[in-house]
Amino acid sequence: MNTYTWCLVALAGAEAIGAWGLWKAAAAAARLEARLARQHEALALLTETSESGFQAVAREVARLADGPARPARKPSTRRIKAAAGRGKTVRDIAAAEEASEGEVRLRLHMAAPQAQGERRRAALRA
């Protein structure tokens, strides 16, 4: 074998080693790209979660800054009975008490036997 042949064999070996190194570098680049894609997805999820959490906190702070909510007053049978005695309609009483008309009617119905019982007891005491 002459020198020319040895040079060609050495050059072919060098090209093979270079090609193998290039192939390994391309595989490493593909792995790196996949890792970066996963990191991007994780960061996007973290950002979305943080933003929604901050918005929830801001809504809660705004709600608390408006002052304490007025507690809903339970309809009182005594107030309903007194309003009915003053001649108010069931609809007006329900609007004032923030209750349904059915609840107002029920409380008026429940107040009627109480009133009869009180009258009976008052008559027995007298």
Question: Tell me, what amino acid is at 4?
Answer: Y
**Which domain covers residue 48, as residue numbers?**
1-69
Predicted confidence (pLDDT) at residue 4 exceeds the cutoff of 50: yes
Handedness of CA 99, 100, 104, 110 (dihedral sign): negative
Same domain? 15 vs 36: yes
Are residue 6 and residue 63 in the same domain, yes or no? yes
Higher pLDDT, 11 or 36: 36
Domain count within the chain: 2
The answer on 31 and 91 residing in a single domain is no
Q: Do 56 and 31 have their domain in common?
A: yes
The whole-number pLDDT of residue 124 equals 47
The mean pLDDT value for 58-83 works out to 80
Instruction: Examine the domain organization and report whether 81 and 64 are in the same domain.
Output: no
Does 40 share its domain with 85?
no
Residues 12 and 61 both lie in one domain? yes
Residues 16 and 53 in one domain: yes
What's residue 121's pLDDT? 55
Tell me, yes or no, whether 64 and 113 share the same domain: no
Q: What is the pLDDT of residue 67?
A: 72
Residues 4, 9, 11, 12, CA torsion sign: positive
Highest-confidence range of 36-40, 64-68, 81-85, by mean pLDDT?
A: 36-40
pLDDT interval class at 10 (50, 70, 90): confident
Give the whole-angstrom CA distance, residue 65 versus residue 81: 37
Domain identity same for 1 and 54? yes
Give, as one character, the DSSP assignment of residue 99: -
- Is residue 58 left, alpha or beta, with left meaning phi > 0 and alpha meaning psi from -120 to 50? alpha
The mean predicted confidence, pLDDT, of the chain is 84
Instruction: Specify whether 61 is located in the same domain as 87.
Output: no
Longest dimension (CA), the chain: 143
- Summarize pLDDT for 81-110 with one digit per residue, the tens: 888 889 998 899 888 888 888 888 888 888
Q: Are residues 111 and 50 in the same domain?
A: no
